[in-house]
A and B are shown apart, each in its own frame.
Chain A
Amino acid sequence: MKNKRIKLARVECDISQEQLAEKVGVTRQTIGMIEAGNYNPSLRLCIAICTALGKTLNDLFWEEK
């Protein structure tokens, strides 16, 4: 499932996939795949992404049923 919230948060912060990737220590492709819903990141990486984007885990990763 696509994670549009990460993309929105990234656009809000005005940073590219490449810049976010550099901040959290992964490749741009990994960020792209997380946003496309093709890769489930580890909790450690989720927290790093949230910290980089100034969001909580709930904001970016919680799925309401």
Chain B
Amino acid sequence: MRLLKKVVDERQELELMRNERIGFWVMLWGLLIVIHVELFFNGFNFKLVAGEIFILAIGALIVTVGHLRKGLWSYYTNPSLKSNIRYSLGGALVLSVISSVLRYKKLLGMQEYTIGKLFTFFVMQMVIIFGACFIISTLMSFVTNKRKNNLEEEFDDKNSK
């Protein structure tokens, strides 16, 4: 038995969900920005933003698991090698540029640097982040496609009751 009985109809529920979705994305990106700003102004002391990072991770995990369970990927792309490469490259480029700039400004604890060292750091960051993003997105796209196929089979002409 449900503790609370819904008092909204289907249209109101849809509108509530639409508003909640906007709120969710604002909170998610807001949290991400706040974490970075706090880190920047507090000498990259991760202990200070551990709570925020934990909440962000839990939220992201819930969304990811929910998507995987329903065989969903995103609004604008399908899981594919091409899109995995594109988004992994994009993410790696942005993060590598940011961390290289921070290193250049001596904010990330690299005391002695040369342009050569910085470039090596940038390339290494790119490779590591791209590799991690690509492996994770490839694994996730594999699971998503598998789940999607399972759901399609479950509700096809042969299996549907």
Contact = CB atoms under 8 A, between A and B. Distances in A.
Interface of A: 25-27, 29-30, 33, 39, 41-42, 44-45
Size band of the interface chain B makes with A: under 10
B118 to A, nearest CB: 56
A29 B9 CA distance: 10
B111 interface: no
Nearest to A30: B11
Contacts of A33: 11
Interface in B1-40: 9-12
Contacts of B12: 27, 30
A41 B14 CA distance: 11
The prevalent SS among residues of A at the interface is loop
Nearest to A27: B9
Q: Which of B10, B11, B12 has the most CB of A within 10 A?
A: B11
Contacts of A30: 9-12
14 contacts: A25-B9, A26-B10, A26-B11, A27-B9, A27-B11, A29-B11, A30-B10, A30-B11, A39-B11, A41-B10, A41-B11, A42-B10, A44-B10, A45-B10
Given A27-B11, A41-B11, A42-B10, 7 more contacts: A26-B10, A26-B11, A27-B12, A30-B10, A33-B11, A41-B10, A44-B10
Nearest to B7: A27
B153 to A, nearest CB: 24
Contacts of B11: 26-27, 29-30, 33, 39, 41
Contacts of B9: 25-27, 30
Contacts of B10: 26, 30, 41-42, 44-45
Interface in B95-120: none
Contacts of A25: 9
B107 to A, nearest CB: 52
Contacts of A26: 9-11
A41 B10 CA distance: 8
